[in-house]
A = this chain, B = another copy of it.
Amino acid sequence: MSTVLCFCLRGIIPGPIEFTDEVLFANAHPSMSHMSPDFARVFGDCIRMTRQLLYSEDAQPFLIAGSGTLGQDQVSANLVEPGENALVLHSGCFADSFADCLQTYGANVDQIKAEIGGAVKEADIENALQAKKYKIVTVTHVDTSSAVLSDIKAIPNVVKRVSPDTLVVVDAVCSVASEEIQMGAWGIDVVLTASQKGLGTPPGLSILVASQKAVQVFENRSTPVTTYYGSWKKWLPVTKAYENNSAAYFATPPVNLIYAFHASLTQIMQGSVSLEQRFKLHQEVSRRVKKAAEEIGFKGVPLSEDVQANGMSALYLPDGFTVSDIVPRLLKKGVVVAGRLHASIKGQ
């Protein structure tokens, strides 16, 4: 038994991360009806702040009780019709689950696999898009199994040049609020994430933001949506109502988590540092964590600096050490680590 150790900023497991007192206090909010005007305003704020956090003006957020995986479901069942093609860029094992999810809802999936510790190369993406028509391309911003950071600013450019109708979907479960994401300017069509990582809120909230282009593609479907719980046909009117500070119902939202998310977003958006400074700070701290770890003998998993994530670190064990040597020593120092995940580097 040995493994790759994944460190996450603020916590040191790859999520859930630590919560601030304000967030925990909000999570203990007394019972509120999801149909009450007070709650509708808080929900509306969350929708607006989520959009701002992704530097988007008009994209459509969906906040639903669930986890990050529910975002993969929403994409697969609302944006891809059975029999259509999807291209999955593989930089770690969360691409495998996205591919599995897409196939469950009837997509034909091709994957481009990067080398271990690397991201998929632009030239390979370009070739794939020239060879076949794809409805969507998915990319994992930071894959939690490898800590590889993909270049989600460059990829939409390639896609736009070669295949302008193809939607760019970013799995940002491990990156939102730790890494900069300029959804509007970079031309990203879907950002999907969850509450429990960079957003510092307890797990249980699926957060997905769709560009107006993606919403249009959804609305122009020729076949019915293939999910019920995650159906945008059901959720679009609800999210639009809450955005206007009025309540609507399809399925009960996770009310307390919305209060907690509100507290966390408020701290992120109105804290003492600007969003820009926040991302810079994350970068700096990340470099220091990785440097310190390397000084004591760990080796970072990603091979080159340009693919190193800032919100988390994945490290190879020092030569000659095993997990059973290291973990008890770290535990003694109060450090919790997660051993995981990428099948081909298990045990290192």
Contacts and interface: CB of A to CB of B under 8 A. Distances in A.
Interface stretch (A63-71, A183-191, A302-310): A63-71
A24 B28 contact: yes
Contacts of A66: 65-66, 70, 229
Nearest to A173: B252
Contacts of A253: 67, 203
Q: Which of A13, A29, A104, A224 has the most CB of B within 10 A?
A: A104
A73 to B, nearest CB: 4
A204 B33 contact: no
Given A70-B251, A253-B203, A255-B16, A11 B25 contact: no
Q: How many copies does the complex hold?
A: 2
A211 to B, nearest CB: 22
A227 B104 contact: yes
Contacts of A100: 228
Interface in A226-273: 226-231, 250-257
A225 interface: yes
A203 B18 contact: no
Given A31-B11, A69-B251, A104 B204 contact: no
A204 B257 contact: yes
A228 B32 CA distance: 31
B73 A194 contact: no
A196 interface: yes
The 5 closest A-B pairs by CB, nearest first: A204-B254, A69-B251, A202-B256, A28-B28, A24-B28
Interface of A: 11, 13, 15-19, 24-25, 27-36, 65-70, 72-73, 76, 100-101, 104-105, 194, 196, 202-206, 224-231, 250-257, 336, 338
7 contacts: A18-B31, A27-B27, A28-B28, A31-B202, A67-B229, A76-B228, A227-B227
